[in-house]
Amino acid sequence: MELLIIPFALGLISFIIPRNNIRFFGLIGSLLPAVLISIHLINYTPGEWVEVYSCKEDIVFGLTFSMQYDGISLLMLLLTAFSFPLIFLSNYNRDLSHSPLFHALAFFMQTGLFGVFLASDGLLFYIFWEFTLIPIFLILYWFGKGNNITLVKFFIYTMVGSLAMLLSFIWLKQHASSFAYGDLIAAKLTDTEGFWIMAGFMLAFAIKIPVFPFHTWQPETYSSAPMAGTMLLSALMLKMALFGMIKWMIPLAPEGLACMRWIVVVLGVIGIVYGGIIAIKQTDIKKIFAYASVSHLGLIAAGIMIFSENALSASMIQVINHSILSIGLFLVAEVLISRTGTHDVTQMGGIAERAPKFAFWFMVISFASVSIPFSAGFIGEFLLLREIAEYKFSLGVLAASTLVFGAIYMFRAYQLSMSGHKASLQFPDLTWNEWAVFCVLGILALVFGLAPYLIGDLVKESAAQLTQIIAN
Protein backbone atom coordinates (compact mmCIF):
# COMPACT_ATOMS: atom_id res chain seq x y z
CA MET A 1 0.00 0.00 0.00
CA GLU A 2 2.97 2.31 0.43
CA LEU A 3 3.10 2.53 -3.36
CA LEU A 4 -0.16 4.46 -3.18
CA ILE A 5 0.32 6.22 0.14
CA ILE A 6 3.68 7.86 -0.68
CA PRO A 7 2.70 9.72 -3.90
CA PHE A 8 -0.69 10.64 -2.44
CA ALA A 9 0.99 12.04 0.68
CA LEU A 10 3.47 13.94 -1.50
CA GLY A 11 0.50 15.45 -3.34
CA LEU A 12 -1.11 16.64 -0.09
CA ILE A 13 2.17 18.03 1.25
CA SER A 14 2.71 19.94 -2.03
CA PHE A 15 -0.14 22.29 -1.12
CA ILE A 16 1.74 23.66 1.89
CA ILE A 17 5.23 23.91 0.36
CA PRO A 18 6.25 27.53 -0.46
CA ARG A 19 6.42 28.40 -4.15
CA ASN A 20 10.15 29.03 -3.94
CA ASN A 21 10.79 25.50 -2.70
CA ILE A 22 8.14 23.43 -4.48
CA ARG A 23 10.22 22.52 -7.53
CA PHE A 24 13.01 21.11 -5.35
CA PHE A 25 10.46 19.26 -3.21
CA GLY A 26 8.76 17.83 -6.29
CA LEU A 27 12.01 16.62 -7.82
CA ILE A 28 13.35 15.02 -4.63
CA GLY A 29 9.92 13.68 -3.61
CA SER A 30 9.45 11.99 -6.98
CA LEU A 31 12.60 9.95 -6.35
CA LEU A 32 11.00 8.21 -3.35
CA PRO A 33 8.57 6.06 -5.39
CA ALA A 34 11.39 5.35 -7.85
CA VAL A 35 13.59 4.01 -5.05
CA LEU A 36 10.72 1.96 -3.62
CA ILE A 37 9.88 0.38 -6.99
CA SER A 38 13.57 -0.36 -7.55
CA ILE A 39 13.62 -2.34 -4.30
CA HIS A 40 10.64 -4.36 -5.54
CA LEU A 41 12.50 -4.99 -8.82
CA ILE A 42 15.61 -6.25 -7.02
CA ASN A 43 13.54 -8.73 -5.02
CA TYR A 44 11.34 -9.84 -7.92
CA THR A 45 11.51 -13.27 -9.56
CA PRO A 46 10.21 -13.20 -13.17
CA GLY A 47 6.88 -14.97 -13.55
CA GLU A 48 5.68 -14.63 -9.96
CA TRP A 49 2.68 -12.64 -8.77
CA VAL A 50 3.44 -10.44 -5.76
CA GLU A 51 0.60 -9.38 -3.49
CA VAL A 52 0.82 -5.78 -2.34
CA TYR A 53 -2.49 -5.85 -0.51
CA SER A 54 -5.12 -8.57 -0.45
CA CYS A 55 -8.75 -8.51 0.63
CA LYS A 56 -10.67 -11.50 -0.70
CA GLU A 57 -13.96 -10.52 0.88
CA ASP A 58 -16.75 -8.89 -1.09
CA ILE A 59 -16.68 -5.32 0.21
CA VAL A 60 -19.53 -3.90 -1.88
CA PHE A 61 -21.01 -4.73 -5.30
CA GLY A 62 -18.52 -7.57 -5.72
CA LEU A 63 -15.46 -5.35 -5.13
CA THR A 64 -12.45 -7.07 -3.60
CA PHE A 65 -9.76 -4.53 -2.72
CA SER A 66 -6.84 -6.60 -3.96
CA MET A 67 -3.57 -5.38 -5.45
CA GLN A 68 -0.70 -7.36 -6.94
CA TYR A 69 1.85 -7.19 -9.72
CA ASP A 70 3.58 -9.49 -12.17
CA GLY A 71 6.47 -8.72 -14.54
CA ILE A 72 4.37 -6.63 -16.91
CA SER A 73 2.78 -4.63 -14.10
CA LEU A 74 6.17 -4.13 -12.46
CA LEU A 75 7.59 -2.76 -15.71
CA MET A 76 4.74 -0.25 -15.90
CA LEU A 77 5.31 0.73 -12.28
CA LEU A 78 8.99 1.31 -13.04
CA LEU A 79 8.11 3.38 -16.09
CA THR A 80 5.74 5.54 -14.05
CA ALA A 81 8.10 5.95 -11.11
CA PHE A 82 11.11 7.00 -13.19
CA SER A 83 9.20 9.16 -15.66
CA PHE A 84 8.07 11.64 -13.00
CA PRO A 85 11.58 12.77 -11.95
CA LEU A 86 12.43 13.30 -15.62
CA ILE A 87 9.23 15.27 -16.21
CA PHE A 88 9.82 17.42 -13.13
CA LEU A 89 13.46 17.94 -14.13
CA SER A 90 12.42 18.95 -17.66
CA ASN A 91 10.14 21.52 -16.10
CA TYR A 92 12.62 22.73 -13.48
CA ASN A 93 13.42 26.15 -15.02
CA ARG A 94 9.89 26.95 -16.22
CA ASP A 95 7.09 28.89 -14.56
CA LEU A 96 5.03 25.76 -13.95
CA SER A 97 7.75 24.42 -11.65
CA HIS A 98 6.80 27.06 -9.06
CA SER A 99 3.19 25.91 -8.81
CA PRO A 100 2.26 23.83 -5.74
CA LEU A 101 -1.06 23.00 -7.43
CA PHE A 102 0.65 21.47 -10.45
CA HIS A 103 2.90 19.28 -8.30
CA ALA A 104 -0.04 18.17 -6.17
CA LEU A 105 -2.06 17.19 -9.24
CA ALA A 106 0.94 15.39 -10.75
CA PHE A 107 1.49 13.32 -7.60
CA PHE A 108 -2.22 12.51 -7.43
CA MET A 109 -2.03 11.34 -11.03
CA GLN A 110 0.95 9.15 -10.13
CA THR A 111 -1.15 7.63 -7.35
CA GLY A 112 -3.88 6.78 -9.84
CA LEU A 113 -1.40 5.30 -12.31
CA PHE A 114 0.11 3.08 -9.62
CA GLY A 115 -3.42 1.97 -8.74
CA VAL A 116 -4.20 1.09 -12.36
CA PHE A 117 -1.08 -1.07 -12.67
CA LEU A 118 -1.55 -2.75 -9.28
CA ALA A 119 -5.29 -3.43 -9.28
CA SER A 120 -6.28 -7.10 -9.40
CA ASP A 121 -9.98 -6.36 -9.18
CA GLY A 122 -11.96 -5.13 -12.19
CA LEU A 123 -13.95 -2.50 -10.36
CA LEU A 124 -10.83 -1.25 -8.59
CA PHE A 125 -9.05 -1.01 -11.95
CA TYR A 126 -11.96 1.07 -13.27
CA ILE A 127 -11.95 3.37 -10.22
CA PHE A 128 -8.25 4.15 -10.56
CA TRP A 129 -8.65 4.51 -14.34
CA GLU A 130 -11.25 7.22 -13.74
CA PHE A 131 -9.23 8.79 -10.93
CA THR A 132 -6.31 9.52 -13.27
CA LEU A 133 -8.62 11.55 -15.52
CA ILE A 134 -9.29 14.16 -12.82
CA PRO A 135 -5.75 15.52 -12.24
CA ILE A 136 -4.78 15.52 -15.92
CA PHE A 137 -7.99 17.32 -16.85
CA LEU A 138 -7.32 19.96 -14.19
CA ILE A 139 -3.71 20.34 -15.37
CA LEU A 140 -4.96 20.94 -18.91
CA TYR A 141 -7.68 23.31 -17.68
CA TRP A 142 -5.59 25.48 -15.35
CA PHE A 143 -2.20 25.40 -17.07
CA GLY A 144 -2.98 24.75 -20.74
CA LYS A 145 -3.41 27.35 -23.47
CA GLY A 146 -6.26 25.72 -25.35
CA ASN A 147 -9.92 26.63 -25.52
CA ASN A 148 -12.85 25.00 -23.78
CA ILE A 149 -13.85 23.12 -26.93
CA THR A 150 -10.58 21.17 -26.86
CA LEU A 151 -11.06 20.28 -23.20
CA VAL A 152 -14.71 19.32 -23.70
CA LYS A 153 -13.77 17.05 -26.61
CA PHE A 154 -11.05 15.41 -24.50
CA PHE A 155 -13.46 14.94 -21.58
CA ILE A 156 -16.33 13.58 -23.69
CA TYR A 157 -14.12 11.16 -25.58
CA THR A 158 -12.62 9.71 -22.41
CA MET A 159 -15.94 9.54 -20.55
CA VAL A 160 -17.67 7.71 -23.41
CA GLY A 161 -14.86 5.18 -23.45
CA SER A 162 -14.96 4.81 -19.68
CA LEU A 163 -18.70 4.19 -19.73
CA ALA A 164 -18.22 1.44 -22.35
CA MET A 165 -15.58 -0.19 -20.14
CA LEU A 166 -17.83 -0.03 -17.07
CA LEU A 167 -20.69 -1.68 -18.96
CA SER A 168 -18.31 -4.45 -20.06
CA PHE A 169 -17.23 -5.05 -16.46
CA ILE A 170 -20.86 -5.14 -15.29
CA TRP A 171 -21.81 -7.59 -18.05
CA LEU A 172 -18.80 -9.78 -17.27
CA LYS A 173 -19.65 -9.73 -13.55
CA GLN A 174 -22.95 -11.46 -14.35
CA HIS A 175 -20.88 -14.56 -15.15
CA ALA A 176 -18.50 -14.29 -12.17
CA SER A 177 -18.83 -14.38 -8.40
CA SER A 178 -16.91 -11.11 -7.90
CA PHE A 179 -14.81 -8.52 -9.72
CA ALA A 180 -11.60 -10.29 -8.62
CA TYR A 181 -9.19 -10.81 -11.52
CA GLY A 182 -9.18 -14.59 -11.15
CA ASP A 183 -12.97 -14.79 -10.98
CA LEU A 184 -13.39 -12.61 -14.07
CA ILE A 185 -10.90 -14.70 -16.05
CA ALA A 186 -12.73 -17.88 -15.03
CA ALA A 187 -16.05 -16.56 -16.37
CA LYS A 188 -17.36 -18.55 -19.34
CA LEU A 189 -18.77 -16.52 -22.21
CA THR A 190 -20.30 -17.27 -25.55
CA ASP A 191 -18.46 -16.02 -28.62
CA THR A 192 -21.06 -13.28 -29.05
CA GLU A 193 -20.80 -12.15 -25.43
CA GLY A 194 -17.01 -12.21 -25.63
CA PHE A 195 -17.04 -10.06 -28.74
CA TRP A 196 -19.27 -7.35 -27.29
CA ILE A 197 -17.53 -7.30 -23.93
CA MET A 198 -14.18 -6.99 -25.71
CA ALA A 199 -15.67 -4.27 -27.93
CA GLY A 200 -16.60 -2.24 -24.84
CA PHE A 201 -13.07 -2.52 -23.46
CA MET A 202 -11.55 -1.79 -26.85
CA LEU A 203 -13.58 1.39 -27.29
CA ALA A 204 -12.22 2.72 -23.99
CA PHE A 205 -8.66 1.73 -24.82
CA ALA A 206 -8.82 2.81 -28.48
CA ILE A 207 -9.85 6.32 -27.43
CA LYS A 208 -7.10 6.59 -24.85
CA ILE A 209 -4.25 5.16 -26.98
CA PRO A 210 -5.58 6.58 -29.45
CA VAL A 211 -6.28 4.20 -32.35
CA PHE A 212 -7.59 5.51 -35.67
CA PRO A 213 -10.31 6.87 -36.02
CA PHE A 214 -10.58 7.79 -32.31
CA HIS A 215 -7.50 10.02 -32.42
CA THR A 216 -9.11 13.38 -33.21
CA TRP A 217 -8.91 14.66 -29.62
CA GLN A 218 -5.14 14.17 -29.46
CA PRO A 219 -3.42 16.73 -31.75
CA GLU A 220 -5.25 19.80 -30.40
CA THR A 221 -4.91 18.59 -26.82
CA TYR A 222 -1.18 18.01 -27.22
CA SER A 223 -0.72 21.35 -28.94
CA SER A 224 -2.48 23.33 -26.22
CA ALA A 225 -1.24 21.43 -23.17
CA PRO A 226 1.77 22.61 -21.14
CA MET A 227 4.92 20.59 -21.74
CA ALA A 228 4.53 18.60 -18.53
CA GLY A 229 0.89 17.84 -19.35
CA THR A 230 1.81 16.57 -22.80
CA MET A 231 4.53 14.37 -21.32
CA LEU A 232 2.15 12.95 -18.73
CA LEU A 233 -0.41 12.18 -21.43
CA SER A 234 1.92 10.68 -24.02
CA ALA A 235 4.52 8.95 -21.87
CA LEU A 236 2.19 7.55 -19.20
CA MET A 237 -1.55 8.01 -19.47
CA LEU A 238 -1.86 6.50 -22.95
CA LYS A 239 0.14 3.48 -21.76
CA MET A 240 -2.68 2.61 -19.35
CA ALA A 241 -4.75 1.58 -22.37
CA LEU A 242 -2.02 -0.61 -23.87
CA PHE A 243 -1.57 -2.22 -20.46
CA GLY A 244 -5.35 -2.67 -20.22
CA MET A 245 -5.41 -4.50 -23.55
CA ILE A 246 -2.72 -6.92 -22.39
CA LYS A 247 -3.78 -7.58 -18.79
CA TRP A 248 -7.54 -7.06 -18.88
CA MET A 249 -9.30 -6.91 -22.24
CA ILE A 250 -7.98 -10.04 -23.95
CA PRO A 251 -7.59 -12.37 -20.91
CA LEU A 252 -11.09 -11.48 -19.65
CA ALA A 253 -12.89 -11.95 -22.97
CA PRO A 254 -10.73 -14.27 -25.10
CA GLU A 255 -13.84 -15.56 -26.84
CA GLY A 256 -14.02 -12.28 -28.75
CA LEU A 257 -10.39 -12.26 -29.90
CA ALA A 258 -10.95 -14.18 -33.13
CA CYS A 259 -13.35 -11.51 -34.44
CA MET A 260 -11.84 -8.44 -32.78
CA ARG A 261 -8.22 -9.16 -33.74
CA TRP A 262 -8.75 -8.46 -37.45
CA ILE A 263 -10.61 -5.21 -36.76
CA VAL A 264 -8.01 -3.77 -34.41
CA VAL A 265 -5.00 -4.89 -36.46
CA VAL A 266 -6.48 -3.27 -39.58
CA LEU A 267 -7.30 -0.04 -37.69
CA GLY A 268 -3.81 -0.05 -36.18
CA VAL A 269 -2.19 -0.38 -39.60
CA ILE A 270 -4.44 2.36 -41.01
CA GLY A 271 -3.31 4.55 -38.11
CA ILE A 272 0.33 3.82 -38.91
CA VAL A 273 -0.08 4.99 -42.50
CA TYR A 274 -2.51 7.84 -41.77
CA GLY A 275 -0.52 9.20 -38.83
CA GLY A 276 2.72 9.11 -40.83
CA ILE A 277 1.25 10.90 -43.86
CA ILE A 278 -0.46 13.61 -41.78
CA ALA A 279 2.71 14.15 -39.72
CA ILE A 280 4.65 14.81 -42.93
CA LYS A 281 2.17 17.55 -43.90
CA GLN A 282 2.21 19.35 -40.54
CA THR A 283 4.21 22.47 -39.72
CA ASP A 284 3.20 22.71 -36.04
CA ILE A 285 6.03 20.95 -34.19
CA LYS A 286 3.73 19.55 -31.49
CA LYS A 287 1.25 18.25 -34.05
CA ILE A 288 4.06 16.56 -35.97
CA PHE A 289 4.97 14.63 -32.83
CA ALA A 290 1.29 14.03 -31.98
CA TYR A 291 0.56 12.37 -35.33
CA ALA A 292 3.85 10.49 -35.08
CA SER A 293 2.53 9.11 -31.79
CA VAL A 294 -0.67 7.97 -33.52
CA SER A 295 1.47 6.09 -36.02
CA HIS A 296 3.75 4.41 -33.49
CA LEU A 297 0.97 3.52 -31.05
CA GLY A 298 -1.07 2.02 -33.88
CA LEU A 299 1.79 -0.44 -34.42
CA ILE A 300 1.89 -1.38 -30.73
CA ALA A 301 -1.90 -1.86 -30.55
CA ALA A 302 -1.85 -4.06 -33.64
CA GLY A 303 1.02 -6.11 -32.21
CA ILE A 304 -0.76 -6.66 -28.91
CA MET A 305 -3.77 -8.14 -30.73
CA ILE A 306 -1.51 -10.86 -32.20
CA PHE A 307 -1.10 -11.92 -28.54
CA SER A 308 1.84 -14.25 -28.91
CA GLU A 309 4.69 -14.30 -26.39
CA ASN A 310 7.02 -12.58 -28.84
CA ALA A 311 4.40 -9.96 -29.74
CA LEU A 312 3.73 -9.14 -26.09
CA SER A 313 7.44 -8.88 -25.24
CA ALA A 314 8.04 -6.69 -28.30
CA SER A 315 5.03 -4.54 -27.39
CA MET A 316 6.40 -3.91 -23.90
CA ILE A 317 9.81 -2.98 -25.36
CA GLN A 318 8.03 -0.48 -27.62
CA VAL A 319 5.94 0.86 -24.74
CA ILE A 320 9.15 1.78 -22.90
CA ASN A 321 10.75 3.11 -26.07
CA HIS A 322 7.74 5.29 -26.90
CA SER A 323 7.68 6.75 -23.39
CA ILE A 324 11.39 7.59 -23.55
CA LEU A 325 10.91 9.26 -26.93
CA SER A 326 7.75 11.07 -25.85
CA ILE A 327 9.55 12.85 -23.03
CA GLY A 328 12.44 13.67 -25.36
CA LEU A 329 10.35 14.84 -28.32
CA PHE A 330 8.06 17.07 -26.30
CA LEU A 331 11.04 18.57 -24.49
CA VAL A 332 12.45 19.31 -27.96
CA ALA A 333 9.12 20.91 -28.90
CA GLU A 334 9.06 23.02 -25.74
CA VAL A 335 12.64 24.21 -26.22
CA LEU A 336 11.84 25.27 -29.79
CA ILE A 337 8.51 26.93 -28.96
CA SER A 338 9.68 28.76 -25.82
CA ARG A 339 12.79 30.17 -27.50
CA THR A 340 11.33 31.05 -30.90
CA GLY A 341 7.79 32.04 -29.88
CA THR A 342 6.22 29.92 -32.62
CA HIS A 343 5.00 26.34 -33.20
CA ASP A 344 5.70 26.60 -36.93
CA VAL A 345 8.92 24.85 -38.00
CA THR A 346 8.97 26.82 -41.27
CA GLN A 347 9.44 30.00 -39.20
CA MET A 348 12.47 28.63 -37.38
CA GLY A 349 15.78 27.70 -39.04
CA GLY A 350 19.44 28.30 -38.30
CA ILE A 351 19.19 26.99 -34.75
CA ALA A 352 22.04 24.48 -35.07
CA GLU A 353 24.53 27.33 -35.41
CA ARG A 354 23.31 29.07 -32.26
CA ALA A 355 22.59 26.01 -30.09
CA PRO A 356 24.88 23.12 -31.08
CA LYS A 357 24.19 21.13 -27.89
CA PHE A 358 20.45 21.24 -28.53
CA ALA A 359 20.98 20.37 -32.22
CA PHE A 360 23.01 17.32 -31.17
CA TRP A 361 20.40 15.96 -28.76
CA PHE A 362 17.56 16.71 -31.18
CA MET A 363 19.42 14.59 -33.73
CA VAL A 364 19.93 11.79 -31.19
CA ILE A 365 16.21 11.73 -30.36
CA SER A 366 15.36 11.87 -34.07
CA PHE A 367 17.57 8.87 -34.86
CA ALA A 368 16.07 6.94 -31.95
CA SER A 369 12.57 7.81 -33.20
CA VAL A 370 13.22 6.21 -36.59
CA SER A 371 14.48 3.03 -34.89
CA ILE A 372 18.03 2.93 -36.15
CA PRO A 373 20.08 -0.13 -35.06
CA PHE A 374 21.28 -0.06 -31.45
CA SER A 375 18.37 2.19 -30.38
CA ALA A 376 15.55 1.03 -28.11
CA GLY A 377 13.00 1.03 -30.90
CA PHE A 378 14.97 -1.13 -33.32
CA ILE A 379 14.31 -4.54 -31.76
CA GLY A 380 10.75 -3.84 -30.61
CA GLU A 381 9.58 -2.33 -33.88
CA PHE A 382 11.04 -5.03 -36.09
CA LEU A 383 9.70 -7.83 -33.90
CA LEU A 384 6.23 -6.29 -34.06
CA LEU A 385 6.45 -5.92 -37.82
CA ARG A 386 7.48 -9.57 -38.10
CA GLU A 387 4.56 -10.71 -35.94
CA ILE A 388 2.07 -8.70 -38.00
CA ALA A 389 3.58 -9.98 -41.26
CA GLU A 390 3.25 -13.57 -40.03
CA TYR A 391 -0.40 -12.89 -39.22
CA LYS A 392 -1.08 -11.21 -42.58
CA PHE A 393 1.80 -10.45 -44.91
CA SER A 394 0.08 -7.57 -46.73
CA LEU A 395 -0.69 -5.85 -43.42
CA GLY A 396 2.94 -6.35 -42.36
CA VAL A 397 4.12 -4.62 -45.54
CA LEU A 398 1.79 -1.67 -44.93
CA ALA A 399 2.85 -1.47 -41.29
CA ALA A 400 6.49 -1.31 -42.38
CA SER A 401 5.73 2.04 -44.00
CA THR A 402 6.23 3.50 -40.51
CA LEU A 403 10.00 3.20 -41.15
CA VAL A 404 9.77 5.37 -44.26
CA PHE A 405 7.24 7.89 -43.00
CA GLY A 406 9.06 8.21 -39.68
CA ALA A 407 12.31 9.12 -41.37
CA ILE A 408 10.58 11.71 -43.57
CA TYR A 409 8.65 13.62 -40.90
CA MET A 410 11.41 13.50 -38.28
CA PHE A 411 14.25 14.64 -40.53
CA ARG A 412 11.99 17.18 -42.24
CA ALA A 413 11.22 18.72 -38.84
CA TYR A 414 14.91 18.67 -37.97
CA GLN A 415 16.01 20.22 -41.25
CA LEU A 416 13.42 23.02 -41.22
CA SER A 417 14.18 24.01 -37.63
CA MET A 418 17.93 23.43 -37.43
CA SER A 419 19.22 24.35 -40.90
CA GLY A 420 19.05 27.54 -42.95
CA HIS A 421 19.74 31.01 -41.63
CA LYS A 422 17.60 33.37 -39.58
CA ALA A 423 19.78 36.32 -38.68
CA SER A 424 17.29 37.82 -36.23
CA LEU A 425 16.72 34.65 -34.27
CA GLN A 426 18.09 34.56 -30.70
CA PHE A 427 18.26 31.02 -29.37
CA PRO A 428 20.00 30.24 -26.05
CA ASP A 429 21.46 26.74 -25.87
CA LEU A 430 20.36 24.06 -23.40
CA THR A 431 20.10 24.77 -19.68
CA TRP A 432 21.66 22.31 -17.24
CA ASN A 433 18.40 20.52 -16.49
CA GLU A 434 17.43 20.18 -20.15
CA TRP A 435 20.86 18.78 -20.95
CA ALA A 436 20.57 16.32 -18.05
CA VAL A 437 17.17 15.03 -19.23
CA PHE A 438 18.38 14.56 -22.82
CA CYS A 439 21.48 12.79 -21.56
CA VAL A 440 19.48 10.34 -19.43
CA LEU A 441 17.02 9.65 -22.25
CA GLY A 442 19.83 9.13 -24.75
CA ILE A 443 21.57 6.66 -22.44
CA LEU A 444 18.32 4.76 -21.82
CA ALA A 445 17.59 4.54 -25.55
CA LEU A 446 21.08 3.13 -26.13
CA VAL A 447 21.02 0.72 -23.17
CA PHE A 448 17.64 -0.78 -24.12
CA GLY A 449 18.78 -0.91 -27.74
CA LEU A 450 21.91 -2.87 -26.88
CA ALA A 451 20.27 -4.97 -24.17
CA PRO A 452 16.52 -5.34 -24.92
CA TYR A 453 16.60 -8.50 -22.83
CA LEU A 454 16.50 -6.26 -19.74
CA ILE A 455 12.85 -5.70 -20.61
CA GLY A 456 12.22 -9.02 -22.34
CA ASP A 457 13.44 -11.17 -19.44
CA LEU A 458 11.29 -9.24 -16.98
CA VAL A 459 8.04 -9.73 -18.91
CA LYS A 460 8.65 -13.04 -20.75
CA GLU A 461 7.21 -15.35 -18.09
CA SER A 462 4.21 -13.10 -17.50
CA ALA A 463 3.55 -12.96 -21.25
CA ALA A 464 3.68 -16.77 -21.39
CA GLN A 465 1.14 -17.01 -18.55
CA LEU A 466 -1.24 -14.64 -20.33
CA THR A 467 -1.02 -16.48 -23.64
CA GLN A 468 -1.67 -19.72 -21.76
CA ILE A 469 -4.94 -18.24 -20.51
CA ILE A 470 -6.01 -17.75 -24.12
CA ALA A 471 -4.89 -21.26 -25.06
CA ASN A 472 -7.06 -22.73 -22.32
Check pLDDT > 70 for residue 106.
Answer: yes
Confidence of residue 62 (pLDDT cuts 50, 70, 90): low
Check pLDDT > 90 for residue 113.
Answer: yes
Q: Which residue has the higher pLDDT, 2 or 313?
A: 313
pLDDT of residue 56: 62
pLDDT of residue 423: 47
- Looking at 12-21, 56-65, 154-163, 353-362, which range is the least confident one? 56-65
Q: Helical H runs in 44-180?
A: 71-90, 100-118, 122-143, 148-173
> pLDDT tens digits for 267-289?
999 999 999 999 998 888 989 99
Question: Which helix (DSSP H) or strand (DSSP E) does residue 299 occupy?
Answer: helix 285-306
pLDDT of residue 67: 85
> pLDDT tens digits for 181-219?
888 888 888 888 889 999 999 999 999 888 888 888 878
Confidence of residue 428 (pLDDT cuts 50, 70, 90): confident
Q: What is the mean pLDDT of the chain?
A: 88
Q: Where are the domains of the chain?
A: 2-471
Check pLDDT > 60 for residue 99.
Answer: yes
3-state percent breakdown (helix, strand, coil) of the chain, nearest 5: 75, 5, 20
Mean pLDDT of 127-153: 83
Confidence of residue 370 (pLDDT cuts 50, 70, 90): confident
Name beta bridge partners: 121: 180
The CB-side HSE value for 227 (13 A sphere, CA atoms) comes to: 28
Q: Which residue has the higher pLDDT, 359 or 427?
A: 359
Check pLDDT > 80 for residue 147.
Answer: no
- What three-state secondary structure class fits 413? helix
Question: Which helix (DSSP H) or strand (DSSP E) does residue 452 occupy?
Answer: none
pTM: 0.91
Tell me the percentage of the chain whose pLDDT exceeds 90: 40
Q: Are 214 and 98 in contact, with CB atoms under 8 Å apart?
A: no
> pLDDT tens digits for 14-32?
999 998 899 999 999 999 9
